[in-house]
């Protein structure tokens, strides 16, 4: 996907990028590739692949979730790595307030440099495990309108990492690929226990490659019990099962 295709495909979804935003994406690409030479941020480095599989892919939630476009939401991105999906969303919808939580300080340092380079404001970067960030005594617990996660964990695990951060009435938006239906079936017990219900599973295919993608929207309809999330590492080792 070249820059013109990127711009045109987004325009089909009523997302129109300014010259400044296009330059921010290009600056993002350049810093990502330069940093990736000494910090492992991504296996995808070819220009057209980054634009399709990182930048465009990160913006797909906005095709389906109106509040991303229409509301100055408070968004937390768990395990964002090199900033996906929250930084592309922030570039396009600058009114969003973004908090990124990642467990690897090298990635947080890259994001600090990136935020400065792109001239972004309203971005908070936190070096922490999600289990600690959303713990019962955390000031951040149940304070976010939306929590996003992309390529972090299967839904039964992801729900325990993310739902404690979502305020009642807010949403967890998970960017998924294949096997989404089986993941959702396995996560039914966890979602019920943690206070979430499946609102939608939107499916789409990426342009050019036709790769399958799903945008899973979970509504938080009741408070998460204080014992969740459990201590770091436990959700992945012992997912909440039916």
Neighbours of 45 (CB within 10 A): 14
Is 228 assigned a ligand-binding role in the annotation?
no
- DSSP designation for 163: G
Q: Which two tokens stand for residue 60?
A: 């797909």
- DSSP designation for 138: -
Is 150 assigned a ligand-binding role in the annotation?
yes
Which residue's structure tokens are 């299967």? 154
Q: Work out the angle at residue 164's Cα, subtended by the Cα atoms of residues 167 and 183, and round it to the nearest 5 degrees.
A: 110
Rounded to whole angstroms, the Cα distance separating 163 from 218 reads 9
Rounded to whole angstroms, the Cα distance separating 40 from 36 reads 5
How distant is the alpha carbon of residue 145 from its chain centre? Answer: 13
Is 134 assigned a ligand-binding role in the annotation?
no
Instruction: Name which of 125, 52, 49 is nearest 87 in CA terms.
Output: 125
Is 142 assigned a ligand-binding role in the annotation?
no
Secondary structure E strands in the chain: 74-78, 97-102, 123-127, 144-150, 166-176, 196-205, 212-220
Is 149 assigned a ligand-binding role in the annotation?
no
Annotated binding site: 79, 84, 130-131, 150
Binding site per annotation, positions for S-adenosyl-L-methionine: 79, 84, 130-131, 150
């Amino acid at each position: 996907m070249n820059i013109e295709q990127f711009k045109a495909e987004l325009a089909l979804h009523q997302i129109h990028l300014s010259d400044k935003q296009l330059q921010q994406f290009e600056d993002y690409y350049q810093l990502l590739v330069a940093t990736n030479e000494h910090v492992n941020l991504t296996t995808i480095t070819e220009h057209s692949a980054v634009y399709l599989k990182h930048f465009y892919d990160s913006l797909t939630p906005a095709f389906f979730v109106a509040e991303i476009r229409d509301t100055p939401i408070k968004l937390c991105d768990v395990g964002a790595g090199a900033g996906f999906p929250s930084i592309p969303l922030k570039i396009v919808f600058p009114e969003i307030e973004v908090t990124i939580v990642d467990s690897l300080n090298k990635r947080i340092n890259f994001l600090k440099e990136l935020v400065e380079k792109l001239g972004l404001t309203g971005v908070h970067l936190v070096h922490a495990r999600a289990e600690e960030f959303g713990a019962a005594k955390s000031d951040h617990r149940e304070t976010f309108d939306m929590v996003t996660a992309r390529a972090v964990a299967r839904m039964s695990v992801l729900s325990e990492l993310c739902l404690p951060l979502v305020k009642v009435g807010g949403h967890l938006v998970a960017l998924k690929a294949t096997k989404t239906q089986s993941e959702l079936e396995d996560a039914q017990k966890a979602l019920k226990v943690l206070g979430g219900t499946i609102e939608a599973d939107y499916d789409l295919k990426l342009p050019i490659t036709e790769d399958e993608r799903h945008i899973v929207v979970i509504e938080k309809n009741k408070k998460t019990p204080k014992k969740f999330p459990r201590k770091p590492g436990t959700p992945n080792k012992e997912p909440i099962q039916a």
